[in-house]
């Protein structure tokens, strides 16, 4: 029964952790990982990434059934999703321009069409139009000519419709969108909730899957890509990687601990602070930020491998039968200083002003502190009650023979020199500038997103010229001026759809009055078989346009037309914005040339990377600050410049060798590597501080050596396995910590440990 309290404590800790994780929201939005922009361009971009129409877009594909069946499912789904009220728009092509939305545009054709000017209404132009119309009436297209040609012989609607349809890349089957080159129905859903609102995105996603199931999909498959999908994919891939690895490394670490302690109960004791640390870390980040970023989560889970050290250090140093306070008295100072240094280093991260890094820092900090507190406060009575300690250590002298190596520790500088020289020869470490490569979203999910985006022609983060103004009208007028300077480029812009009031008034002025139009039509149709009343609908539409007030954004309603133009003309915090996106490769340069007052050129991709670079630099300084604080704490705690110098040498040597190894392995160093190095430094300081303890008897030194080797092998097993996994983020962490921990162990042993006196030859 002496184990009962320990097992009960473990059960409580596990329950707490499970409860904590059920309350955690995972986000993978890279914007949430980035620091606030310092330029107008980057602030605009981040705002759009977080809440803009790009972030609330969900791309859907349906495939794996005959085209007719796919079309039916697509329509059924779109209707069902419309009814949920969760979506601002669900587009699948079923609302073409022949419904009420199309009639609205048709009614306003003489105000909105770029084909309307004075030249289009001369007698000569009208006669050419009527002759062409006659030929169309005679051709197989005559039903269309009757429907659209007679009320609009000048072709105003035909000139404006392509811009509004704007989906040249899509094919239509059964009246709905299909990918151009494969049987895949496509839908585009815009959620009312922002892309960052993962809970709302989850609801929307559930509605989508429900609508798909309700459409009796049969053999068809649903493909979905959106913020919620990315978050789930990232969390799932991190969890599955972690699950597999934690099973394998768990078995290995368990075997190691069993061999070392010969007790299953020790495993339960070790699990107490570890589970608590993960729960505390996740809850701390959730409380501070309202969500946990996928990167922080991935990192946080791997924290397991490091916090195991704390209980192992405690139990490993306990003498058999020793009371609770005894062990703590011997290792307390080193343990406390190690935790303090690690915390100081991590708090540098937590305050770095780079949200992603801050989350990591807070996660690690909370985890380390919770594990340390649990180890010091909870564990000792439980251990003593269960009487846990390493099995008899055997002859300390045999273990300590290895200490003789320290007589040759000057040789330890050789690998350091080699690493420095190698790093110089390789031109220093290589930096990773593209944040997309850090994404925790699996490559397959990112590929699917890119494919759907490309097929549907959905807005992507590309180069845009953002026109700004106090009102929608001002933005439209400025866009028209910019487009005029740009010439006949193929661009996507609100002004291509909705003209400014000034331009609409100009068109009104160009329209002939009723009498003039009547006379011109009569002259133009001379000799042609048109009845006198054939163009009544045309004449009355022209007359109505002359008297109408200009069409505004509000007149377009809130249906498909609004969904089409809203991403291109929107209000944010009282200002109006209208991006102009180039559609051909040479456009970015030409758009950039137009940048100026109220016209902001943005290359989203380049901008993101610039933000990362500047943020990384600041974070680097904060990390350095944390390191300085840790050194100060060491000086205060150890009161020996010499000893602190040794520790800094050992840790510095480990960092140098790690960076050199990573570079030699072809890794590009990113923020993640920096943070993993920080973690390594924390682990290394543990080792160094335990080696730094002086005036110990041989037995205690042997205990320390065995315990640290145990810790080190555990770290190597856990993180070494992590280095083999697929998620780039976890791989980077694994490789860095595995190399760093071994190096830190070696250098701490050599440079910091007590050097036995030379054995005199007898």
Partner 1 sequence: MALPAAAALQARAQAPFPLAELMARLAQPASRSGSFVEDKTIGALTTPLQSTGRLSYAKPSRLEKLTSFPQQESLVVDGNRLIINGGAEPPRVVELDGQPELRALVDTIRGALSGDLTLLQRLYDVAGTGTLADWHLVLHPRDPAIAKLVREVDIDGGADVRMIRTISPNGDTDTLRITPTP
CB of 130 to partner 1, least distance (A): 11
Q: How far is the CB of 140 from partner 1 (least distance, A)?
A: 5
Name which of 659, 665, 239, 606 is nearest 436 in CA terms: 606
Greatest Cα-to-Cα distance within the chain, rounded to the nearest angstrom:
132
For partner 1, give the closer residue by CB, 528 or 624: 528
CB 382 within 8 A of CB 272: yes
Angle between helix 355-373 and 324-350 (nearest 10) = 170
Compute how many other C-beta atoms are within 10 angstroms of the C-beta atom of residue 664.
Answer: 13
To the nearest whole angstrom, how small is the minimum distance from the Cβ of residue 175 to partner 1?
6
Give the CA distances from residue 659 to residues 61, 431, 452, 493, 733, in Å, rounded to whole numbers and listed in that order: 44, 11, 39, 48, 13
Shortest distance, position 185 Cβ to partner 1, whole Å: 11
Instruction: For partner 1, give the closer residue by CB, 40 or 528.
Output: 528
Quote the least distance from Cβ 231 to partner 1, whole Å.
Answer: 35
Q: Of 78 and 674, which has the nearer Cβ to partner 1?
A: 78
Q: For residues 91-130, which are near partner 1 according to CB under 8 A?
A: none
| Nearer CB in complex with partner 1: 94/496 | 94
Residue 220, Ramachandran bin (φ over 0: left; ψ between -120 and 50: alpha; else beta):
beta
394 burial (CB, 10 Å; 0-12 / 13-18 / 19+) is: exposed
Cβ at position 537, least distance to partner 1 in Å: 10
What is the nearest approach in angstroms of partner 1 to the Cβ of residue 217? 19
Find the shortest distance in angstroms from Cβ 488 to partner 1: 20
| Number of residues located near partner 1, criterion CB under 8 A | 26
The residue range among 459-467, 533-541, 638-646, 731-739 that interacts with partner 1, by the rule CB under 8 A, is: 533-541
- Stretch of residues binding partner 1 (CB under 8 A), selected from 244-252, 297-305, 324-332, 532-540: 532-540
Q: Between residues 138 and 454, which has the closer beta carbon with respect to partner 1?
A: 138
What is the smallest separation between the CB atom of 225 and partner 1, expressed in angstroms? 24
Contact flag: residue 71 with partner 1 (CB under 8 A): yes
Which residues in 222-241 contact partner 1 (CB under 8 A)?
none
Complex with partner 1: residue 441 or 560, whichever CB lies closer: 560
Instruction: Select from 198-206, 474-482, 528-536, 702-710 the region that touches partner 1 (CB under 8 A).
Output: 528-536
Interaction with partner 1 in 128-187: which residues (CB under 8 A)? 134-135, 137-143, 146, 150, 171-176
Contact status, residue 55 vs residue 196, Cβ threshold 8 Å: yes
CA angle 175, 181, 185 (to 5 degrees): 40
Residue 480: helix, strand or coil by DSSP? helix
CA atoms of 22 and 12, how far apart (whole Å): 16
Out of 85, 487, 488, 529, the only residue in the binding site for partner 1 (CB under 8 A) is: 529
Contacts of 218 (CB under 8 A, 6+ apart): 65, 69
Give which of 471, 454, 460 is closest to 578, Cα–Cα.
Answer: 471
Least distance in angstroms from the C-beta of 470 to partner 1:
43
For residues 671 and 438, give the distance between their C-alpha atoms in angstroms, rounded to a whole number: 9
Minimum CB distance to partner 1 smaller for 7 or for 134: 134
* Helices 671-692 + 604-638 axis angle, to 10: 10
Nearest to 706 by CA among 254, 251, 261: 261
Closest CB 77 distance from partner 1, rounded Å: 18
Which positions from 31 through 70 interact with partner 1, judged by CB under 8 A?
67-68
Which residue number, 11 or 537, has a Cβ lying nearer to partner 1?
537
171-173 and 176-178 as β-strands: parallel, antiparallel, unpaired?
antiparallel
Nearer to partner 1, 171 or 706 (CB): 171
Contact 335, 400 (CB under 8 A): no
- Cβ proximity to partner 1: between 146 and 391 the closer is 146
97 versus 548: smaller Cβ distance to partner 1: 97
Q: Considering the rule CB under 8 A, would residue 396 count as an interface residue with partner 1?
A: no
| CA pair distance 476, 496, nearest whole angstrom | 9
Instruction: Find, among 729, 185, 202, the residue nearest to 443 by Cα.
Output: 729
Work out whether 531 is an interface residue with partner 1 (CB under 8 A). Answer: yes
Q: Which residues bind partner 1 (CB under 8 A)?
A: 67-68, 71, 134-135, 137-143, 146, 150, 171-176, 529-531, 533-535
């Amino acid at each position: 029964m002496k184990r009962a309290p320990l097992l009960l404590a473990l059960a409580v800790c596990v329950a707490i952790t499970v409860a904590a994780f059920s309350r955690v929201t995972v986000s993978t939005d890279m914007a949430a990982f980035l620091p606030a922009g310092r330029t107008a361009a980057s602030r605009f971009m981040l705002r759009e990434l977080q809440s803009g129409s790009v972030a609330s877009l969900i791309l859907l594909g349906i495939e794996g059934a005959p085209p007719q069946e796919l079309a039916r499912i697509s329509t059924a789904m779109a209707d069902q999703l419309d009814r949920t009220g969760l979506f601002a728009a669900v587009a699948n092509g079923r609302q073409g321009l022949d419904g009420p939305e199309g009639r609205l545009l048709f009614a306003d054709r003489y105000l909105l069409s770029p084909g309307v000017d004075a030249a289009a209404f001369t007698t000569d132009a009208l006669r050419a139009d009527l002759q062409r119309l006659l030929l169309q009436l005679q051709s197989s297209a005559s039903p269309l000519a009757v429907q659209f040609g007679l009320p609009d012989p000048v072709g105003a609607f035909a000139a404006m419709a392509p811009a509004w349809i704007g989906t040249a890349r899509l094919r239509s089957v059964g009246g709905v969108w299909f990918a151009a080159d494969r049987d895949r129905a496509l839908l585009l859903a815009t959620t009312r909730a922002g892309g960052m609102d993962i809970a709302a995105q989850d609801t929307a996603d559930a509605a989508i899957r429900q609508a798909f199931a309700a459409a009796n999909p049969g053999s068809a498959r649903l493909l979905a890509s959106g913020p919620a999908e990315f978050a789930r994919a990232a969390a799932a891939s991190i969890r599955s990687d972690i699950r597999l690895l934690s099973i394998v490394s768990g078995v290995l670490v368990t075997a190691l601990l069993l061999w070392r302690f010969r007790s299953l109960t020790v495993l339960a004791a070790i699990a107490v602070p570890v589970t608590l640390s993960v729960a505390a870390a996740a809850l701390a980040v959730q409380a501070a930020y309202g969500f946990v970023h996928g990167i922080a989560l991935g990192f946080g889970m791997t924290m397991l491998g490091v916090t195991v050290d704390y209980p192992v250090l405690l139990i490993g140093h306990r003498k058999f039968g020793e009371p609770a306070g005894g062990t703590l008295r011997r290792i307390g100072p080193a343990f406390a200083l190690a935790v303090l240094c690690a915390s100081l280093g991590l708090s540098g991260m937590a305050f770095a002003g780079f949200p992603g890094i801050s989350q990591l820092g807070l996660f690690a900090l909370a985890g380390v502190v919770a594990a340390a507190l649990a180890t010091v406060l909870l564990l000792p009575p439980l251990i003593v009650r269960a009487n846990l300690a390493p099995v008899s250590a055997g002859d300390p002298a045999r273990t300590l023979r290895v200490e003789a190596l320290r007589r040759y520790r000057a040789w330890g500088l050789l690998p350091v020199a080699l690493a420095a020289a190698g790093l110089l020869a390789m031109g220093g470490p290589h930096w990773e500038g593209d944040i997309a490569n850090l994404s925790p979203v699996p490559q397959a999910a990112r590929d699917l997103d890119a494919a759907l985006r490309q097929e549907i022609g959905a807005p992507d983060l590309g180069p845009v010229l953002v026109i700004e103004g106090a009102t929608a009208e001002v933005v439209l007028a400025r866009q028209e001026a910019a487009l005029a300077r740009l010439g006949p480029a193929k661009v996507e812009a609100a002004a291509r759809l909705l003209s400014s009031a000034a331009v609409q008034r100009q068109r009104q002025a160009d329209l002939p009055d009723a009498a003039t139009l009547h006379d011109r039509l009569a002259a133009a149709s001379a000799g042609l078989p048109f009845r006198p009343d054939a163009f009544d609908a045309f004449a009355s539409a022209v007359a109505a346009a002359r008297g109408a007030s200009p069409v505004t954004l509000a007149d377009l309603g809130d249906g498909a037309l609004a969904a089409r133009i809203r991403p291109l003309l929107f209000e944010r915090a009282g200002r109006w914005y209208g991006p102009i996106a180039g559609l051909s490769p040479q456009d970015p340069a030409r758009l950039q040339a137009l940048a100026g007052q109220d016209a902001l050129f943005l290359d989203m991709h380049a901008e993101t990377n610039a933000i990362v670079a500047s943020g990384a630099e600041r974070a680097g300084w904060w990390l350095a600050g944390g390191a300085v604080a840790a050194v100060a704490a060491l000086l205060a705690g150890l009161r020996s410049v010499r000893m602190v110098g040794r520790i800094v040498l050992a840790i510095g040597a480990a960092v140098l060798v790690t960076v050199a190894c990573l570079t030699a392995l072809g890794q590009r160093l990113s923020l993640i590597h920096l943070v993993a190095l920080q973690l390594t430094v924390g682990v290394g300081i543990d080792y160094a501080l335990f080696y730094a303890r002086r005036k110990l008897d041989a037995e205690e030194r042997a205990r320390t050596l065995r315990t640290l080797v145990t810790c080190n092998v555990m770290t190597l097993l856990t993180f070494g396995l992590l280095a083999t996994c697929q998620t780039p983020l976890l791989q980077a962490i694994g490789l860095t910590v595995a190399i760093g921990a071994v190096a830190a162990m070696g250098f701490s042993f050599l440079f910091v440990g007590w050097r036995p006196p030379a054995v005199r030859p007898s």
